[in-house]
Amino acid sequence: MKLIFIPLFISLVLVGASFVDDSSSSDDDSSDESFISRRGFSLDKLRDLKISREAESLKGQQLIDYVNNNQNIWRARLSAKFEAMDDDVKRGMMGVNHVGNSVKARQKLGKTRFLDIQLPQNFDARQNWPNCQSIGAIRDQSSCGSCWAVGAVEAMSDRICIASGAKIQVSLSADDLLSCCTACGFGCEGGEPEEAWKFWVHDGIVTGSNYTQHQGCKPYPFPPCEHHSPKTHFQPCKHDLYPTPKCEKTCQASYTTRAYGQDKYYGKTSYAVDQSVEAIQNELYTNGPIEVTFNVYEDFLNYNGGIYFHRAGGLMGGHAVKLVGWGVDNGVDYWLVANSWNTDFGEEGLFRIVRGKDECGIESGGTAGVPDLQRSPSANEFAHPPHRHHSSHRHSHRIVRVEDDIDENAF
């Protein structure tokens, strides 16, 4: 698990600049109706796109060439790391068994969907809450299907900071959630974000940094590794999955700040996020980053920048990530997402994906919650939870308190 804070100038470049340079503009004139071009791009054309059986079966350099020759919205580059990995191991790293919220979850949706907010065209949580360092952190799940746990604790940590007015800077432990939440699933073999957020409410989660920093009560047990080898920086990932760590309800010996039971941070409520674009934007704009799930196909493993949509390759499995923003690039609406494959993946650890058509299911599996600051280890600092204002250039019809928009009966 590698935490690296992304400088503001990099985030501005990622959001504001088109990935594909103008040298490829000649492709825009392609007469092939299946070619997806940024010139005249429309969601309707993307909805009508059919992936042929031949395209679905492509692998390796043939897959890369097909993707790059049939669209110019994003670019694929062969990942030697994933290329060398057995399909069973690739699928094992996709740790979400069910993409999309369950019927039960959809019966208890967050109330921010009802807010009347004048939403900006572009939004980046890192810029909107610059004092919350965790929002810009990129973690590394290593060779473990723990994305469901990593994505959850990332968003929980961000929301604690936001709700506290940046007074609490904390990194919650993915290991604690991964190893101790028996209802969540099967640890390194996959789990359910919905249950992870319930666990935060009912059981709490202790602190824990990445493997390298080795800080907090329970730091991540697995070292960072190379997920996207053309940008060599880390050691190669294991070719087999790590076993799930044993649930240890004690802190590491070097952590003397608090005992395990006193180090717990809790959620007040957890809930599903409605799948409409506006509802997702309202939730992110009001309360901070959201954990979302989506289907990963072979082509995404080779994503190297731009605004992703599925073009070729077979289904690998479900993946959980942290949604941090949205924007528009050359007329293409996108979501801005933090992955958990370290900063060597995609756009410095992030990726952009088409917004507005539930691409790969990314809009139908949002999960979030509100922190319970009164039960946090720093509760005495928050006798009166602060109101949270957006940056002066943001506009909304009213200032929203964290508790105003949440169903108190949710979960």
Q: Annotated active-site positions, please?
A: 147, 319, 339
Query: Residues 140, 141, 143, 146: what is their CA dihedral angle, to the nearest 10 degrees?
Result: -170
Q: Is 26 exposed, middle or buried (0-12, 13-18, 19+ CB in 10 A)?
A: exposed
Query: Residues 70, 71, 74, 78: what is their CA dihedral angle, to the nearest 10 degrees?
Result: 10
**CA 235/CA 239 separation, integer angstroms:** 12
**Token pair of 41, please?**
């791009």
Asked whether the CA dihedral 341, 346, 350, 352 is positive or negative, the reply is negative
**CA 62/CA 72 separation, integer angstroms:** 17
Name residue 368's beta-bridge partners: 271
Contact 199, 184 (CB under 8 A): yes
Find all residues with CB under 8 Å of 189, minimum gap 6, and list them: 92, 95, 145, 241, 244
Q: Is 121 exposed, middle or buried (0-12, 13-18, 19+ CB in 10 A)?
A: exposed
**Token pair of 164, please?**
């506290």
Position 91, amino acid? R
**Token pair of 394, please?**
């943001």
Name residue 327's beta-bridge partners: 334
Helices marked H in 118-261 — which ranges? 125-128, 147-163, 174-180, 193-202
